[in-house]
């Protein structure tokens, strides 16, 4: 599958490498493809392409948003027409000081993304764990971390099939409004991580009786 990764930070680079290893065709969308950082990324992720947001989105079936929240709207605008594309929103609408979320309960970052990406099928996923555990996470116990996916439209199975091979128990959590709960759920993970309440790399899992 042809996947555009919009954003080349830790999350974007990790997901791009992970899907590249699994046989997908990756194009990274960055603000300046000629920058030293972009050239380094191209060398490290060959044969992935590093290009503009517009070109990466144009040639891809799936567009993955891995941008800081304060740059997400501009990044989407730079992608051009996203009608009929699958958009996977990995962002969290964090305040600049990471003290909490700018949105919640009555709307969500994912719903804003759907407003900005008119005509796209938007899904929330991969926002609930740190980038170090986004590719085949291993734990001392025989359990997979859980990754909830929400969104509207018939192409949700495509997103589920992209997430599950990364090593997660992938759960369909419902329509896009469920992002109002998944983003605060991710904020709990962020709070525990940045305050050191839970040490080391960690994720949440489902335990069934």
* CATH number assigned to the domain comprising residue 123: 3.40.50.720
Distance CA(47)–CA(146), nearest Å, equals 30
Specify if 48 maps to a domain: yes
Q: How does 158-168 read in b/e, with b if 16+ C-beta sit within 10 Å?
A: bbbebbebbbb
Distance CA(163)–CA(150), nearest Å, equals 12
Q: At what angle do helices 10-21 and 36-44 cross, to 10 degrees?
A: 30
Residue 188: φ, ψ to 5°: -60, -45
Q: Report CA Rg, the chain.
A: 16
User: Measured between alpha carbons, how far apart are the two ends of the chain, in Å?
Assistant: 37
Specify if 118 maps to a domain: yes
Q: Which domain holds residue 11?
A: 2-195
The pLDDT of residue 104: 86
Specify if 100 maps to a domain: yes
Specify if 201 maps to a domain: no
Distance CA(169)–CA(14), nearest Å, equals 19
Residue 206: φ, ψ to 5°: -95, 130
Q: How many domains does the chain have?
A: 1
Residue spans of the chain under pLDDT 50: none
The pLDDT of residue 75: 98
The pLDDT of residue 142: 87
Specify if 205 maps to a domain: no
pLDDT tens digits along 164-209? 999 999 999 999 999 999 999 999 999 999 999 999 999 999 999 8
The pLDDT of residue 203: 97
Specify if 206 maps to a domain: no
The pLDDT of residue 205: 97
> Is the separation of the CB atoms in 12 and 37 below 8 Å?
no
Task: Please work out, in degrees rounded to the nearest 5, the angle formed at the alpha carbon of residue 73 by the alpha carbons of 40 and 195.
Answer: 70
pTM over 0.85? The answer is: yes
The pLDDT of residue 105: 86
């Amino acid at each position: 599958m042809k996947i555009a990764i919009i954003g080349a930070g830790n999350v974007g680079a990790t997901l791009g490498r992970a899907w590249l290893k699994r046989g997908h065709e990756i194009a990274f969308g960055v603000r300046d493809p000629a920058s030293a950082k972009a050239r380094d990324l191209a060398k490290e992720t060959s044969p992935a392409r590093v290009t503009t947001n517009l070109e990466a989105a144009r040639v891809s079936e799936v567009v993955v948003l891995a941008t800081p929240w304060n740059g997400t709207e501009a990044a989407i605008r730079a992608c051009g027409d996203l009608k009929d594309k699958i958009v996977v929103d990995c962002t969290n609408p964090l305040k600049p000081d990471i003290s909490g979320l700018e949105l919640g309960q009555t709307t969500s970052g994912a719903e804003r993304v759907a407003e900005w990406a008119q005509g796209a099928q938007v899904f929330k996923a991969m926002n609930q764990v740190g980038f170090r555990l986004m590719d085949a996470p291993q734990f001392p116990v025989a359990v997979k971390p859980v990754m909830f996916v929400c969104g509207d439209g018939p192409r949700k199975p495509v997103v589920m099939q992209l997430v599950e091979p990364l090593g997660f128990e992938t759960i369909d959590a419902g329509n896009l409004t469920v992002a109002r709960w998944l983003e605060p759920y991710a904020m709990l993970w962020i709070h525990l991580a940045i305050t050191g309440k839970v040490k080391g790399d960690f994720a949440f899992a489902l335990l069934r009786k």
